[in-house]
């Protein structure tokens, strides 16, 4: 057996070690990830079943003492099953990738590339692809419709839960628009649809076009100008958080492209379309959950993954023909679910 394959048989190249390596790469890509909105919940199955229970809340009449009490009406339960998306991604490490290549050593001196060093950098790239995919899925969940890379629908949360999305036109091109009143329309609607949930605030992720119109509107401009004059303005980017009308607005520029069937790269897709803003509640207890299904490995059948390892898994390396290198298989199995999609509000501006 060629010597390079003996290297791959060492413990550092085992599936558990490689999964550990890929987990140690910080998932720093994406604003939604940074917000920590979705609570992670590993599961042992490839589907998630959510019980929808329509609780009955009604006024209780008074009765004379000793008279029969009113009887409680049980809520109606409706189970909903959602499949967890399976996202595999493969690459390879070839002898020609490493042979004669230079790499910086820990001392800063260039030396010959090592197989493990090259593999770890390859894993970082693969990890980042999974990270941007997860960011896109989570943004889709906040928009209420989770889509695949090509735009096809994976899960329509509004249809699944039987609700219609609330859309608020801010009409930012009209100087007389009561923008504060529009903000109150958003927060009031959310409060009316909590249905037993709680919230501590509202955040808005806005496209650059919408955010620019918002911050330059006559009724917002003075407040924004005052905010910009604060003592931290030289150190803070106000696009990352400006509070008005009880809502924290920020500009969101998430986008990504994908490889098309003909091998070319698509035009980058904006996760929040131009002219749009998306509102969602903060401080909820059970509205936003990211379910993590087990990987498609024999050793992981019907086992909930550990939270620390749940995001991306690496399969055992597979030798290439004639000892030319090794194939790498990674996969992620996430379902970001919004269990109260009525709380998701879309904002637009018609002018």
Q: 271-297 pLDDT, tens per residue? A: 999 999 999 999 999 999 999 999 999
Compute the C-alpha angle 260/261/265, nearest 5°. 20
Q: List C-alpha distances in Å: 328 to 103, 123, 223, 312, 313.
A: 21, 9, 53, 13, 11
Q: Are 132 and 107 in contact (CB under 8 A)?
A: no
* DSSP-derived pairing of the beta strands 325-332 and 87-94: antiparallel
- The 10 Å Cβ neighbour count of residue 288 is 24
Per-residue model confidence as pLDDT tens digits over 30-73: 889 889 999 999 999 999 988 777 655 555 665 777 778 877 66
Domain count, the chain: 1
Element (H, E) at 103: strand 102-104
Confidence at residue 17, expressed as pLDDT on a 0 to 100 scale: 60
pTM here is 0.85
Range of the domain at 242: 3-348
- 273 contacts 208 by C-beta, under 8 angstroms: no
For the chain, how far is it from start to end, CA to CA, in angstroms? 69
Longest dimension (CA), the chain: 93
> Would you state the pLDDT for residue 133?
94
Q: What percent of the chain has pLDDT over 70?
A: 80
Element (H, E) at 331: strand 325-332
- The helix (run of H) or strand (run of E) holding residue 327 is strand 325-332
Cα(194)–Cα(140) distance, rounded to whole angstroms? Answer: 21
In this structure, what CATH number is given to the domain that contains residue 71?
3.90.1690
**Long-range own/partner contacts, residues 189-194 (CB < 8 A, 24 or more apart):** 189/345, 190/279, 190/281, 190/343, 190/345, 193/340, 193/342, 193/343, 194/281, 194/340, 194/343
- Whole-number pLDDT of residue 334: 96
Q: Which residues contact 319 (CB under 8 A, 6 or more apart)?
A: 5, 8, 326, 327
């Amino acid at each position: 057996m060629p010597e390079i394959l003996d290297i791959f048989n060492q413990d550092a190249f085992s599936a558990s070690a490689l999964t550990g390596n890929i987990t140690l790469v910080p998932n720093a890509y994406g604003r939604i990830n940074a917000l920590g909105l979705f609570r992670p919940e590993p599961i042992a199955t490839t589907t998630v079943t959510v019980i929808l229970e329509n609780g009955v809340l009604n006024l209780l009449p008074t009765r004379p003492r000793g008279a029969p009490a009113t009887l409680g009406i049980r809520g109606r339960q409706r189970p909903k099953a959602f499949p967890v998306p399976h996202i595999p991604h493969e690459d390879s490490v070839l002898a020609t990738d490493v042979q004669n290549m230079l790499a910086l050593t820990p001392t800063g001196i260039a030396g010959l590339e090592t197989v493990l060093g090259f593999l770890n950098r390859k894993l970082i790239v693969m990890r980042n692809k999974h990270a941007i995919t997860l960011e896109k899925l989570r943004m889709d969940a906040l928009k209420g419709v989770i889509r695949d890379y090509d735009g096809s629908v994976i899960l329509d949360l509004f249809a699944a839960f039987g609700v219609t999305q609330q859309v608020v036109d801010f009409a930012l091109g009209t100087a007389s628009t009561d923008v504060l009143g529009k903000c109150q329309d958003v927060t009031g609607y959310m409060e009316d649809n909590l249905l037993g949930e709680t919230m501590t605030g509202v955040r808005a992720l806005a496209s650059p076009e919408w955010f620019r119109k918002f911050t330059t509107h006559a009724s917002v401009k003075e407040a924004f100008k005052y905010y910009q004059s604060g003592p931290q303005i030289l150190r803070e980017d106000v696009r990352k958080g400006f509070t008005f009308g009880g809502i924290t607005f920020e500009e969101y520029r998430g986008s990504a492209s994908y490889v098309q069937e003909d091998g070319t790269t698509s035009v980058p897709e904006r996760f929040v379309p131009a002219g749009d803003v998306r509102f969602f509640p903060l401080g909820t207890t059970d509205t936003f959950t990211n379910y993590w299904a087990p990987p498609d490995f024999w050793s992981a059948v019907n086992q909930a993954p550990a939270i620390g390892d749940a995001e991306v898994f690496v399969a055992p390396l597979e030798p290439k023909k004639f000892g030319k290198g090794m194939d790498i298989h990674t996969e992620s199995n996430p379902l970001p679910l919004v269990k109260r999609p009525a709380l998701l509000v879309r904002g637009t501006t018609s002018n």
